[in-house]
Amino acid sequence: MSDSTPHGLHEGPAVGQDEWVARHAERTLLRGGPLGTLEQRLRRVPWWAWLILFIAAFSLLPVFEQSGYVRRVSFDTVLYMLLALGLNVVVGWGGLLDLGYVAFYGIGAYAYALLDSDKFGIHLPTLVAVPLIVAIGAIVGLLLGLPSRRLTGDYLAIVTLFFLQLFQTITTNGDSINGHNVTGGPNGILRVDPLHLFGHDLAVQHGGVFAVSYLYVALGVFAIVFVALRYVNESRTGRAWRSLREDPLAAEAMGMPVNWLKLLSFGFGAAVAALTGTLFASLSASVFPLTFYFVLLITVYTMVILGGSGSQAGVVAGALIVGPMLEVLRDASKSRVVFFVALVGGLVLFSRRSRGLGIVALATLAVGFALHAILGAIDSSWIAGEHQGGFAGVVDHWVVAPAHLARWIQPASYIGLIAVVLLVTLVQGRLRLVLLVPTLYLAAFVWENVMLAKPEPARYIVLGLMLIALMILRPNGLLGERRVEII
Partner 1 sequence: MPALLELRGVSLSFGGLHVAEGEVVSVIGPNGAGKTTLFNLITGIYHPDAGDIALDGESILGLQPHVISKRGVSRTFQTLRLFLNMSVKENVMAAAYGHTRAGVFRSMLRTPGMRREEREIERLAQERLAFFGKRLMGYRWDQPAYSLSYANRRRLEIARATATNPRILLLDEPAAGMNPAETHEMTELIGELRTEGGYTILVIEHDMHVVEGISDRVVALDHGVKIAEGSFDAVATNEKVIEAYLGLQAAATTK
Q: Is 486 one of the binding residues for partner 1 (CB under 8 A)?
A: yes
The packing angle between helices 258-284 and 126-148, to 10°, is: 140
> Rounded to the nearest whole angstrom, what is the least distance from the CB of residue 142 to partner 1 in the complex?
12
Between 251 and 319, whose beta carbon lies closer to partner 1?
A: 251
* Among 35, 42, 57, 484, contact with partner 1 (rule: CB under 8 A): 484
> Rounded to the nearest whole angstrom, what is the least distance from the CB of residue 151 to partner 1 in the complex?
17
> Rounded to the nearest whole angstrom, what is the least distance from the CB of residue 53 to partner 1 in the complex?
21
> What residues form DSSP beta bridges with 200?
197
* Among 65, 118, 201, 247, contact with partner 1 (rule: CB under 8 A): 247
Q: What is the DSSP string of 344-403?
A: HHHHHHHHTT-THHHHHHHHHHHHHHHHHHHHHHH-GGGGTT---SHHHHHHHTTS---G
> Rounded to the nearest whole angstrom, what is the least distance from the CB of residue 228 to partner 1 in the complex?
4
- Reduce the DSSP state of residue 308 to 3 states and report it: coil
Helix (H) or strand (E) holding 201: strand 200-201
Q: Is 3 one of the binding residues for partner 1 (CB under 8 A)?
A: no
Between 189 and 240, whose beta carbon lies closer to partner 1?
A: 240
The DSSP 8-state label assigned to residue 285 in this structure reads S
Q: Is 379 one of the binding residues for partner 1 (CB under 8 A)?
A: no
Q: Is 481 one of the binding residues for partner 1 (CB under 8 A)?
A: yes
Q: Please give the Cα distance from 129 to 109 (Å, whole number).
A: 11
> Rounded to the nearest whole angstrom, what is the least distance from the CB of residue 160 to partner 1 in the complex?
22
> Rounded to the nearest whole angstrom, what is the least distance from the CB of residue 108 to partner 1 in the complex?
19
Q: Please give the Cα distance from 30 to 336 (Å, whole number).
A: 35
* Among 181, 235, 333, 354, contact with partner 1 (rule: CB under 8 A): 235
Q: Is 257 one of the binding residues for partner 1 (CB under 8 A)?
A: yes
Nearest to 323 by CA among 134, 459, 228, 451: 459
* Among 43, 44, 180, 236, contact with partner 1 (rule: CB under 8 A): 236
Nearest to 135 by CA among 265, 274, 280: 274
Taking CB under 8 A as the binding criterion, the range among 106-114, 161-169, 228-236, 381-389 that sits at the site for partner 1 is 228-236
Between 245 and 459, whose beta carbon lies closer to partner 1?
A: 245
Taking CB under 8 A as the binding criterion, the range among 196-204, 224-232, 280-288, 324-332 that sits at the site for partner 1 is 224-232
Please provide the distance, in angstroms rounded to a whole number, between the alpha carbons at the two ends of the chain: 34
Q: Is 228 one of the binding residues for partner 1 (CB under 8 A)?
A: yes
Q: Please give the Cα distance from 445 to 384 (Å, whole number).
A: 14
Q: Is 264 one of the binding residues for partner 1 (CB under 8 A)?
A: yes
Between 231 and 391, whose beta carbon lies closer to partner 1?
A: 231
Burial 158-176, CB ≥16 within 10 A → b, else e: ebbbebbeebbebbbebee
* Among 253, 348, 362, 366, contact with partner 1 (rule: CB under 8 A): 253
Taking CB under 8 A as the binding criterion, the range among 101-109, 194-202, 243-251, 403-411 that sits at the site for partner 1 is 243-251
Between 233 and 439, whose beta carbon lies closer to partner 1?
A: 233
Between 270 and 297, whose beta carbon lies closer to partner 1?
A: 270
Taking CB under 8 A as the binding criterion, the range among 140-148, 245-253, 373-381, 444-452 that sits at the site for partner 1 is 245-253
Q: Is 237 one of the binding residues for partner 1 (CB under 8 A)?
A: yes
* Among 9, 22, 122, 418, contact with partner 1 (rule: CB under 8 A): 22
Measured CA to CA in angstroms, residue 124 lies from 34, 79, 205, 256 at distances of 57, 22, 22, 39
Q: Is 28 one of the binding residues for partner 1 (CB under 8 A)?
A: no
Q: Which residues contact 287 (CB under 8 A, 6 or more apart)?
A: 106, 109, 110, 113, 188, 189, 192, 280, 281
Phi-psi sector, 308: left (phi>0), alpha (psi -120 to 50), beta: left
Q: How many CB atoms neighbour CB 180 within 10 A? A: 8
Burial of 46: CB neighbours in 10 Å, binned 0-12, 13-18, 19+: exposed
Q: Is 309 one of the binding residues for partner 1 (CB under 8 A)?
A: no
| Residues 248 and 152 sit within 8 Å (Cβ to Cβ) | yes
Q: Please give the Cα distance from 287 to 291 (Å, whole number).
A: 8
> Rounded to the nearest whole angstrom, what is the least distance from the CB of residue 42 to partner 1 in the complex?
18
Taking CB under 8 A as the binding criterion, the range among 106-114, 119-127, 173-181, 229-237 that sits at the site for partner 1 is 229-237
Taking CB under 8 A as the binding criterion, the range among 159-167, 196-204, 244-252, 370-378 that sits at the site for partner 1 is 244-252
Residues at the interface with partner 1 (CB under 8 A) = 2, 6, 18-19, 21-25, 228, 231-232, 234-240, 242-243, 246-247, 249-258, 264, 268, 481, 483-484, 486
